[in-house]
Structure formats: C-alpha cells, structure tokens
C-alpha cells in the first residue's frame, strides 16, 4: 500500500495551510499552465486520481463535466472533500492507487495533480488508467520534476556567483527518496523523465504536451518568491491521449 502521510496529524495540519489548499486551484502557480493543457470538459466523465480536498472536481463540474470521481488515499482528505460539496455528480472514494482497478472504458478524461511521485509502480497505474479511458480521451497529470527529486539532499546551494543553484545527483538511480515535509520520512519515488514518457508510450498513449513549469513574468511580479522556479523546475506537467 502507498504510504499515507496525509492522515498523519502533523502533516495534515501543515498541508492544510498551503496556499493551494486554502485558496484552491488559484493558489497553485502552475494552474494556468495546467488549464491551458486541459481538453474541453463538457459532458465528460472524469476520474481525478489524488483528489485531495476536491478543488479540481468542483471546478470540472463548474466547467461542464458530466461527472467526477475523486480518489484519494487519505480518509481525512476525502471526508473534507465530501463535506465541501452537495453535488450528486461528484463522488469521492478512499482508494490506494497502487492497487486500484477502475472499470474499463468508463471515463473520458483522467486527471492527477502532484500524486504519482508517491506511487511505486507507475507502469501498472498507467496501464490501468489506459484501460479505464475511452479511445481518444486525454490524461493530464502533474508530478514533482525528477530534477527536483533526484538528489539525496534536495535544497538550494549558491554557485560561485551567489546564484541559487539546485543539486542533482543519483538521477539515473530510480526509486525511493525520503524527505522531511511537515513530517519526517515522507516517501516518494524518483523516476527519470524518460521512464515516465516511455511508460505512457509503451501503454499506447500518445504524448501531446510536456511542460516543465516555470512562472510567467506577471506571476513573478505578483509574487517575487516564484523567481527561483526559473532556476530549476519543481513540477512536470504532461498531457497524453489514449
């Protein structure tokens, strides 16, 4: 089973205060870039793998989705997501993506935000997602960028000019990475970009767009702290099509 750090009280308390949890999609700087990659959601049956508090599910319904199933490993997240909507076309379920099976050809769009880097067996997940989608459907997801995740000690250094610089090591050594984020020993799985792309391609997905998120000049003007995201990508955004 996937580590469920979200139901750890310390983690949940800190995580719930993140701007993207307090303000929803608008609190996530990568959201405009994700939105630009989304297909038209009108009439679509959607699965959201790692739905958290359900921000995307509600947004999708406001933008014409026929139905949304939100899945999350965290009971606390699912409970809060359920409490935040009375929409009968949204259904939230506690589910472990490592073993989840979805009914075949039941969805017209699959979405996932910042979840798959917690999943050990990405190949299995991609094959399951492919089976669950109707032909022509899109699969849009974001993950932590492997540049961000690879190193043993992922934190800023200064180079000889004093420029913020990110360390990369162990890039080709895929597998477990442990970091401290609200709590100790959060378990993630590092994969190269090649592995992620090739898993999609081998399963029958066509790669439609790949974005290594960087903030726009306007975003940096509004929030100068985002400038460091130009130095190294923290997130990888992908669109694939069955």
Residue ranges binding its own copies (CB under 8 A)? 147, 150-153, 157, 159-161, 163-173, 192-194, 197-198, 201, 206-212, 214, 229-233
d(CA 42, CA 60): 9
Nearer to its own copies, 63 or 163 (CB): 163
Nearer to its own copies, 17 or 216 (CB): 216
- Which residues 6+ apart lie within 8 Å of 165 measured at CB? 156, 157, 158, 159, 231
From the CB of 139, what's the least distance to its own copies, in Å? 15
Nearer to its own copies, 14 or 39 (CB): 39
From the CB of 196, what's the least distance to its own copies, in Å? 9
From the CB of 107, what's the least distance to its own copies, in Å? 23
Closest CA to 69 of 89, 84, 47, 49: 47
Nearer to its own copies, 127 or 209 (CB): 209
Are 159 and 166 within 8 A, CB to CB?
Answer: no
Give the number of other CB atoms < 10 A from CB of residue 241.
18
Are 89 and 61 within 8 A, CB to CB?
Answer: yes
Nearer to its own copies, 52 or 233 (CB): 233
From the CB of 235, what's the least distance to its own copies, in Å? 11
From the CB of 26, what's the least distance to its own copies, in Å? 22
Are 148 and 233 within 8 A, CB to CB?
Answer: yes
From the CB of 112, what's the least distance to its own copies, in Å? 18
Nearer to its own copies, 186 or 210 (CB): 210
d(CA 37, CA 138): 10
Are 122 and 191 within 8 A, CB to CB?
Answer: yes
d(CA 114, CA 212): 13
């Amino acid at each position: 089973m996937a580590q469920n750090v979200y139901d750890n009280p310390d983690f949940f308390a800190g995580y719930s205060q993140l701007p993207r949890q307090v303000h929803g999609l608008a609190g996530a700087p990568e959201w405009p870039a994700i939105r630009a990659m989304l297909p038209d959601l009108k009439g679509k049956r959607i699965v959201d793998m790692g739905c958290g508090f359900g921000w995307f599910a509600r947004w999708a319904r406001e933008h014409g989705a026929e139905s949304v199933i939100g899945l999350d490993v965290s009971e606390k997240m699912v409970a809060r997501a359920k409490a935040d909507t009375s929409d009968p076309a949204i259904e939230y379920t506690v589910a472990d993506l490592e073993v989840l099976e979805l009914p075949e050809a039941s969805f017209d769009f699959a979405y996932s935000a910042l979840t798959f880097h917690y999943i050990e067996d990405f190949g299995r997940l991609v094959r399951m997602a492919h089976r669950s989608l109707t032909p022509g459907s899109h699969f849009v997801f974001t993950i932590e960028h492997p540049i961000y995740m690879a190193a043993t000690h992922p934190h800023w250094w200064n180079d000889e000019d004093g420029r913020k610089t990110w360390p990369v090591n162990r890039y080709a050594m895929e597998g477990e990475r442990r970091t401290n984020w609200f709590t100790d020993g959060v378990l993630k799985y590092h994969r190269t970009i090649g592995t992620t792309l090739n898993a999609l391609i081998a399963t029958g997905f066509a790669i439609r767009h790949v974005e290594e998120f960087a903030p726009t000049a306007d975003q940096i003007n509004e929030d100068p702290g985002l400038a460091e995201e130009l130095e190294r990508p923290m997130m990888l955004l992908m669109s694939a099509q069955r």
